Amino acid sequence: MTDEQILSFTKNAPTPLYVFDLGELEKRVAFLRSCLPEKVELCYAVKANTFIIEKAAEIVDLLEICSPGEYRICDRLSVPHSKFVVSGVNKQADFIDSAIASDEPAAYFTAESVNQFHMLRDSAEKHHKRISVLLRLTSGNQFGLDKDDLFDVIARYKDDPWVGITGIQYFSGTQKNSLKKLKRELDYVDTVLSELLEKHSYAASKLEYGTGFPVSYFDGETFDESAFLEEFSKLLSDMTFKGMITLEIGRSIAASCGTYLTRVVDTKVNCGERYAIVDGGMHQIVYYGQFMAMKHPKIRRIAAGAAESETHDAENAAAADCNCGAGAESAAAADWNICGSLCTINDFLVKKFPFADLRIGDILLFPSAGAYCVTEGIALFLSRELPGVYLLDTDGSIRKVRDQIPTEKFNST
């Protein structure tokens, strides 16, 4: 998003807000596809950002949906159920029932336990529908089935009339930047799939693997993503399993398309430290790996003067301050602590970030805010408004898809 675009619409759009750039989302998915083996399917884990579902549904193969709410959002957007992977550790019976009874049941349901498998199977039988199920293999936590239970389900139900067991789902965590760890996981899953063939004559046709691909959020991080994805692709090609591989990804698909905008509302020097208070806060911007706000994300600043002069003052717009990381400021830069609007000492967005001259009215842009920030923050804390949400379309137009929403009604009797 150009500074010009930002300047023109922040005039009227109250901060804090998010903008999600759908053109960037398209580019991101195309990039991932170009780096991964051709046969591999992409499944977008919508929990990362539900505002970009409509565009994502056009450009990925499947959507992983983890709750009745996410299901209803996809339904409201008329996403075809043939793209749905209905997932989640707590699938309520009525939710399963209505999803299976639907004219067009989801492409896949995941089973997170033996009980859940039976709930799915009973419902399929009740509605006389044959459904496709992926059994989630646990990675050693509360999610998925224990390997022995999974083998037992397959032994007993691999030829079931109501449930076609299509294969296995496996996800162990996010922000995984170790190829060694990814290899260990793929080796493990590959062995399990081979054992299933040997011991139960069961050939899975699909592996749905949550890669947890990493995103670089902070200044100074060096990550050669193309080389990483090339190595990862080799790991996939080396597997004994030759069925369909679906990569279930949230963060790595969504992060780059989002920017969070918040405005400086107060400045002060307390005990020798510079503080800027912004109208957003830690309840709205979450960078995985941020610890006590010590790391520096790649913040950009648009000075209040530039914002006032709007786009017709091209010179001023071009002069809008751009702090692409620490050290990018002029010699006069001083360290600022950027704090949010919450009444908690923890509401630090970043500590000691160098700005030349931070002023009330300046807009701070936090990039790579497309994944999880808008859905994961502790948004109701302190009854502050939910930020507005805007989509930057591929034709350059910006459309508001959510106003700021007051939250006091959620926090009162």
**Which residues here bind ligand PLP, judged by CB under 6 A?**
45, 47-48, 64, 87, 171, 174, 210, 212-213, 248-252
Closer to ligand PLP by CB, 22 or 66: give it: 66
Residue 147 CB, nearest approach to ligand PLP (Å):
17
Nearer to ligand PLP, 10 or 49 (CB): 49
Contacts of 304 (CB under 8 A, 6+ apart): 264, 359, 360, 361, 362, 363
Nearer to ligand PLP, 152 or 376 (CB): 376
Beta-ladder partners of 145:
137
CB of 366 to ligand PLP, least distance (A): 18
Per the structure block, which two tokens stand in for 323? 């702090």
Count the Cβ atoms, other than its own, within 10 Å of residue 304. Answer: 16
Which lies closer to ligand PLP via its Cβ, residue 250 or residue 281? 250
**Residue 90 or 330 with smaller CB distance to ligand PLP:** 90
Sorted by sequence, the CB contacts under 8 Å of residue 396 that are 6+ apart come out as 5
> For residue 175, what are its two tokens?
């922000």
Nearer residue to ligand PLP within complex by CB, 247 or 326: 247
SS3 37: coil
Nearest distance from residue 48's CB to ligand PLP, in Å? 5
Between 86 and 365, name the residue whose CB sits nearer to ligand PLP: 86
* Contact between 359 and 257 (Cβ < 8 Å): no
Q: How far is CA 236 from CA 33, 135, 181, 298, in A?
A: 14, 20, 13, 33
Minimum distance, C-beta of residue 361 to ligand PLP, in the bound complex (Å): 35
Q: Cβ 2 to ligand PLP, closest distance in Å?
A: 28
376-403 exposure pattern, b = at least 16 Cβ within 10 A, e = fewer: bbebebbebbbbbbbbbeeeeebeeeee
Q: How many CB atoms lie within 10 A of CB 209?
A: 23
**271 contact partners, CB below 8 Å, separation of at least 6:** none
Residue 46 or 326: which CB sits closer to ligand PLP?
Answer: 46
**Nearer Cβ to ligand PLP, position 67 or 87?**
87
Rounded-to-integer distance, Cα 105 and Cα 91, Å: 15
Residue with the shortest CB distance to ligand PLP: 250
- Closest CB 171 distance from ligand PLP, rounded Å: 4
Which amino acid is it at 97?
D
Tokens of 50: 């539900």
Least CB distance to ligand PLP at residue 119 (A): 18
Rounded to the nearest 5 degrees, what angle is found at the Cα of 86, between the Cα atoms of 84 and 92?
145
CB of 351 to ligand PLP, least distance (A): 26
Residue 116 contacts residue 133 (beta carbons within 8 Å): no
Please check whether residue 340 is in contact with residue 283, taking contact to mean a CB–CB distance below 8 angstroms.
yes
The least CB distance from residue 137 to ligand PLP, in Å, is: 11
